[in-house]
Amino acid sequence: RAALAAPVQARLHKPVVALHAGYVTELVREYMRAHFGRSAYTAGYRVTTTISSRLQLLAERALRRALEAYCRRYGYRGPAGTIPDLRSMRRSKILKWLQRIRTINGLHRAWVTRVAGRRAWIERVDGRSIELPWPALSWARPFQGVSHFPPLPKTASDVLHPGDVIYIMRRGNGTWVLAQIPWAEGAIVVLAPKTDAIRALVGGFSFGLSNYDRVTEAHRQPGSSFKPFLYSAALHRGMTPATIINDAPIVVGNAKLGNVWRPGNYSNRFFGPTRLRVALAHSRNLVSVRVLADIGISYGLHYVRRFGFNPKHLPHDLTLILGSADVTPLQMARGYSVFASGGYFSKPYLIKSVRDSTGKRVLVADPYIACSGCGQPSPARSATKLHSHKMQHHLLRHSFSRSGQVFHKARIMADPPHLGPVLMPPHEPPRAAIRVITPQNAYLTTSLMQSVIQFGTGVAAQVLHRVDLAGKTGTTNNYINGWFGGFDPHLVVMTYVGRDDNKTLGYGEVGARAALPMWIDFMGPALRRYPDVPFVPPPGIVTARIDARTGLLCGPADPDTIFEVFEVGKLPAHCPSSMMHRKHHIF
């Protein structure tokens, strides 16, 4: 009787979601739908991904902070709406009306109840009242585009008015600040270089706001972040980090026909004879153009296939080395992973395994492992070949000679990065990744990219106080795209900031300003679990003392000397004054 008399209650029971990762979930859904059809939604499959919850949360936070910081530089675009008939509308109706405006990626809805002096009082959708002090509002100059900077506000009434519907955001210290939805977008992707497992992937500010995945779908010009691939080609052709190339004006084309291209440095200055290391560190465009002209455009196009790029989709001219191709952040991360792994190419993958409703393993990932001792794949392995119209990443599986000729017959790999699982028979050894560049080349290119952080355009990353970091900034014409990609032996991280309409981010929004802060914000906490160990030079690498101006070998008595790394057999000539010391100071 007591049970019958008790009131009937109904509660919603649903799984506790530990991590909302909309872009990752959508990639998994696409894969499952492509492979299992409609049963993917009804058969109770359980999918395990390569995503690290810790790294994914750090990546989402880093992207959100970078976009917020960028937009705050240019001001406040105004309220999300205004409450109609504020004086006659009851409070309960206001809160109900406010619920129509959705919460977006940590941005909470609120309405302004009162403004006085340098303070504003607001009410959240849950009815809680909050006071916004001046530090929460002082940044909000009126937005007038990315080329105008009006004066900062002096009072709260310069920013807010009663009845304004706004977004607020909670800082780490518990305080609330005025916020807005960013008008720029971005992406961040994290790979484990030994296998190219995708450890974190964020394709935009909010999946609920836009499901366009900028990691895998946004083809953007990478700017100077593309240079390391062709500097690697130059090293393979015989250049060294000490090779001297003139940083001077260059004209390409025929002036009489009006078809002339005059590349320039970002600083609009010329620096004369420049070592290759310095040129990459400071992103000297004129030196880079001469590098590609020296090794040859056709050779450069052929060489970058080692990093997974299809020459058919790249420009066949000298702008290639300045990053005029259209590539995705995932493609760039995959290319940088070759350097981080010591010269191996692997295929990025997202799904570890798929189990059916009984727990039986249906699919399991069989990644390529970047290690010299791994076994080669057995002919008995059966692979599930899957294709996607969105991404067809091709790589010729072969070894290259120094001249770029193919040693072995090519086999095309066209598995999209997120369609990676293949059936793996038990007791099979791991599959060895394909070596596409020598360990010496990988080390030297990594060393050049370390200089970007040590004294070049990425010097802001010195705040991390680590010796195991390498990277490269990227900026495109008119500041349309900003990039920073970098790595240590454990993680490869590519970051991108840009607008979906391909309009400028604003003057001075270079990769070091727009994208590098995101990379730093992620890498700081992400690397705390990893030891700070310098990159270990492989056999065949030596250190020698050179003249910083000429790049020639010299002795300790010579002025202006520095140490440089070389591949054995590719050391430069000796300074005339150092002939007596040529057998010394090489380590």
Higher pLDDT, 559 or 163: 163
Residue range 77-179, CATH number:
2.40.50.140
Q: Which of 35-44, 98-107, 513-522 has the lowest mean pLDDT?
A: 98-107
Q: What is the pLDDT of residue 397?
A: 32
Write down the pTM of the prediction: 0.87
Q: Where are the domains of the chain?
A: 77-179, 541-581
Q: What is the pLDDT of residue 95?
A: 80
3-state secondary structure of 201: strand
Q: What is the pLDDT of residue 511?
A: 97
Per-residue model confidence as pLDDT tens digits over 210-246: 999 999 999 999 999 999 999 999 999 999 999 999 9
- Quote the CA–CA distance of 115 and 523 in Å, as a whole number: 40
**Average pLDDT of span 341-351:** 95
CB-based burial of residue 356 (10 Å sphere; 0-12 exposed, 13-18 middle, 19+ buried)?
Answer: middle
Q: What is the pLDDT of residue 473?
A: 98
CB 120 within 8 A of CB 109: no
Taking the mean position of all CA atoms in its chain, how far away is CA 366? 25
Q: Is pLDDT at 412 greater than 80 in this prediction?
A: no
Residue with tokens 């799904």: 351
Q: Which of 367-371, 543-547, 562-566 has the lowest mean pLDDT?
A: 367-371
**Average pLDDT of span 80-105:** 80
pLDDT band of residue 89 (cuts 50, 70, 90) is: confident
- Quote the CA–CA distance of 268 and 247 in Å, as a whole number: 11
Average pLDDT, the chain: 87
Q: What is the pLDDT of residue 410?
A: 30
**Average pLDDT of span 321-345:** 97
Q: Is pLDDT at 137 greater than 90 in this prediction?
A: yes
- Quote the CA–CA distance of 391 and 350 in Å, as a whole number: 14
Per-residue model confidence as pLDDT tens digits over 446-465: 999 999 999 999 999 999 99
3-state secondary structure of 382: strand
Query: Which stretches of 347-475 are assigned E, i.e. beta strand?
Result: 351-355, 361-364, 368-369, 395-396, 412-413, 431-432, 434-435, 470-475
Q: Which of 82-86, 104-108, 141-145, 254-258 has the lowest mean pLDDT?
A: 254-258
Q: What is the pLDDT of residue 12?
A: 61
Per-residue model confidence as pLDDT tens digits over 355-380: 999 999 999 988 889 886 665 544 33
Q: Which of 105-109, 192-196, 234-238 has the lowest mean pLDDT?
A: 105-109
DSSP 8-state secondary structure symbol assigned to residue 400: B
Higher pLDDT, 420 or 399: 420
Q: What is the pLDDT of residue 98?
A: 79
Q: Which of 8-22, 177-191, 368-382, 496-510 has the lowest mean pLDDT?
A: 368-382
Q: What is the pLDDT of residue 423?
A: 43
**Average pLDDT of span 314-337:** 97
Higher pLDDT, 316 or 578: 316
